[in-house]
Amino acid sequence: EPRASAPTARLRAIRELTDAGVPVGAMIAPIIPGLNDHEAPAILDAVADAGALTAFYVVLRLPLGLKGLFEDWLTRHFPERVDKVLGRIRATRGGELNDSRFGNRMRGEGLWADAFSKLFRVSRAKAGLADHLPPMSSAHFRKPGSQPTLF
């Protein structure tokens, strides 16, 4: 993603937060069918090694103007994969490049979405990651004193 931290910096942040006692989950997103989906098992291993407790994913969504931007980017950078990637996205989105229905928009549906979900769950477990974060605790928070007045 443009202007996003490099993967090594993200892994370092996971390690630093984990070392400080903060429970960390990693969001692997966007998963682009036919382009980066095969990288998920290695990413899960890396976030587990960095100390994450769990991981989740979101399949690429292309609402509104993002459709054209993504198609242009894909055509310029991976022209040999355009049909494969767009076809798989459409297969997960009911024939469209986006499906905004709650429950479908983050994971998609269909054969590829089901297969990827199974791969992700198996890879997450193999990496030693849980399927959820531990319950939140407020044990380390202190109740503040009274609010001072502004004037």
Q: Which residue has the tokens 């910096």?
A: 9
Percent of the chain with pLDDT over 90: 70
If 0-12 CB within 10 Å is exposed, 13-18 middle and 19+ buried, where does residue 144 land? exposed
pLDDT tens digits along 26-64: 999 999 999 999 999 999 999 999 999 999 999 999 988
105-114 long-range CB contacts below 8 Å, 24 or more apart? 105/61, 106/58, 106/59, 106/61, 107/58, 107/59, 108/33, 108/59, 112/33, 112/88, 113/59
145 has pLDDT over 80: no
Q: Which pLDDT score, from 0 to 100, does residue 143 have?
A: 73
What's the confidence (pLDDT) of residue 133?
Answer: 87
Beta strands of the chain (E only): which ranges? 25-31, 54-59
User: Tell me, what's the pLDDT at 30?
Assistant: 93
The better pLDDT of the pair 45, 139 is held by: 45
pLDDT band at 88 (very low <50, low <70, confident <90, very high): very high
146: pLDDT confidence band, cut at 50, 70 and 90? Answer: confident
Mean per-residue pLDDT, 86-90:
95
Give the predicted TM-score (pTM) of the model.
0.85
Summarised one tens digit per residue, pLDDT across range 73-84 is 999 999 999 999
Tokens matching residue 13: 């942040």
Residues sharing a CB contact under 8 Å with residue 52, sequence separation 6 or more, in sequence order: 14, 18, 24, 25, 26, 129
pLDDT tens sequence across 97-111: 888 888 777 888 999
Name the maximum alpha-carbon separation found in the chain.
Answer: 66
Helix axes 82-92, 111-126, angle to 10 degrees: 90
